[in-house]
Amino acid sequence: CSFCSKPYSKKHFNQVSHLIPEGLGNRELISKEECNNCNSKYSKIDQSLVELFGPHKAYYGVKGKGKIKPFKTKSGFSW
């Protein structure tokens, strides 16, 4: 693993690890050098990035894992 140096085994490297979060529109760039444990751990950071870029995704019509979702702030403002 690139992060924790765990040696490769099919058991610990069987999840798809996106280099750029799938929620930001990435479907193709994946890493085969990230173990399942680190993939799960760093997916929390991925979610934060997706939320950070929410307004940009809505403005540019970027599809995440599903359809294009409108961006809404806590105060009710939406794009």
pLDDT tens, position by position, 10-61: 889 999 898 888 888 888 898 889 999 999 998 888 888 888 887 777 777 7
Confidence of residue 74 (pLDDT cuts 50, 70, 90): low
Scan for tokens 């173990």, then name that residue: 35
Q: For the whole prediction, is pTM greater than 0.85? A: no
> What pLDDT score was predicted for residue 59?
74
What's 6-60 look like in SS3? CCCCCCCCCCCEECCCHHHCCCCCEECCCCHHHHHHHHHHHHHHHHHCHHHHHHH
Q: What is the dihedral of CA 13, 14, 16, 17, to 10 degrees?
A: -10
* Residue 7: predicted pLDDT: 93
Q: Which of 77, 57, 76 is nearest to 67 (CA)?
A: 57
What pLDDT was estimated at residue 23?
82
**CB distance 1 to 36 below 8 Å:** no
Residue 75 has pLDDT above 70, yes or no: no
